[in-house]
Structure 1
């Protein structure tokens, strides 16, 4: 069931477990052309009414990837994680195609190293990443948390009492804590970028950027 006459801007998602299915559904919501592939008939049937293009195929076989037109896609996501052998074989097959940018799910650091060595462009650890993110949210007043590879993070948080009723210039957060308030969201108002004159109230939400350790210290302020 290969695609024909299509631009190579779509995403091939292999594996309809929770990780792969979530990616495929979200991409379609964002307007991206998606082809989802799984070897299990029950999963294909389950998502055939929720995704526009779903195909049953064994992606560990190069012939199956050729039949679904894998080489036509600009990006491929390998969502198979429970079977290390299948994950490696699928990734290796995609590498041999030489076309898609490959995002592959890993369930351990050893699994991730193998995927990187055989040519996966991006390796993700969804369980570990989710665990770290939730730990940061549980640990303080953070409402959302995004961490980057270099230890830099952007968070949404409630303002500490010492900032409430003062402008950002008066609070001098950057000098005291080494983090930067990027924006402020007040109830019933649109998000606004922060300026030194921005006044923070107890009901506001702050968007704060900085090193993870410094943000953690700032977020634990009463």
Structure 2
């Protein structure tokens, strides 16, 4: 097992999915939920799973949450409990606290109380799906910041056999191809001599406008 240990508080759809993936990646995971049925469903999959009220400081203290490298608050149906849990985790000295936000206002409150990272699973998934619907070649879309996005674009037949030098996206559009995922493996930091084939996936970084212009001019 790897050294990092995670505590996931709230074993709903998001929390349980996150916990399972961390276990698959080889990490220790403690799952906490006040719903006995949710804990029972996950008990065989996680390192530990306990029924507990995360808004009780003594409960969290007794579970030793301060010894974990990262705590994720994934409570989805009770904003007050989410905020109280995050406050207690910070007070107890957990190294890193990540929290799921239901709304923008909820997220702003979490940021104000010092949560290290706020995630918006439903909103972010909606954004990604919307981009995929309007751009058939877009396989994935992640907003890195307010200004920059990273996108995975499938290479269409019309680009098969062309080199990155032929496309020259940085000079023409301002975006960069930072990797090419080929059936035989991934090329990190490809050069202008690397040639695309139809089954490749380009990993492109740039602003939304730059990537959109690149798609419009070269791919569509």
TM-score by length of 2: 0.90
2:69 aligned partner: 74
1:164 aligned partner: 160
Whole-Å separation in 1 of the counterparts to 2:192 and 2:159: 12
Given that residues 13 and 76 in structure 1 are in contact (C-alpha distance below 8 angstroms), is that contact kept between their aligned partners in structure 2? yes
Question: How many residue pairs align between the two structures?
Answer: 215
1:185 aligned partner: 181
Q: What is the deviation of 1:158?
A: 2.0
Which of residues 71, 78, 83 is equivalent to 2:78? 83
Q: Which runs of 4+ in 1 moved over 4 A?
A: none
1:19 aligned partner: 14
2:99 aligned with 1:104, yes or no?
A: yes
Q: What is the deviation of 1:117?
A: 1.4
Q: What is the deviation of 1:201?
A: 2.8
2:206 aligned partner: 210
Task: Indicate how the Cα distance of structure 1 residues 114 and 185 shifts in structure 2: closer, same or farther if over 3 A, else same.
Answer: closer
Given that residues 3 and 27 in structure 2 are in contact (C-alpha distance below 8 angstroms), is that contact kept between their aligned partners in structure 1? no
Task: Indicate how the Cα distance of structure 1 residues 155 and 62 shifts in structure 2: closer, same or farther if over 3 A, else same.
Answer: same
Q: Which runs of 5 or more residues in structure 2 are unaligned?
A: none
2:171 aligned partner: 175
Given that residues 168 and 200 in structure 1 are in contact (C-alpha distance below 8 angstroms), is that contact kept between their aligned partners in structure 2? yes
TM-score by length of 1: 0.89
Deviations 1:127-183 (A, max 9, x none): 111111111111211112222024322222123566433222122222222211223
Whole-Å separation in 2 of the counterparts to 1:70 and 1:203: 46
Whole-Å separation in 2 of the counterparts to 1:124 and 1:33: 21
Q: CA RMSD in A?
A: 1.9
2:118 aligned with 1:113, yes or no?
A: no
Task: Indicate how the Cα distance of structure 1 residues 57 and 8 shifts in structure 2: closer, same or farther if over 3 A, else same.
Answer: farther
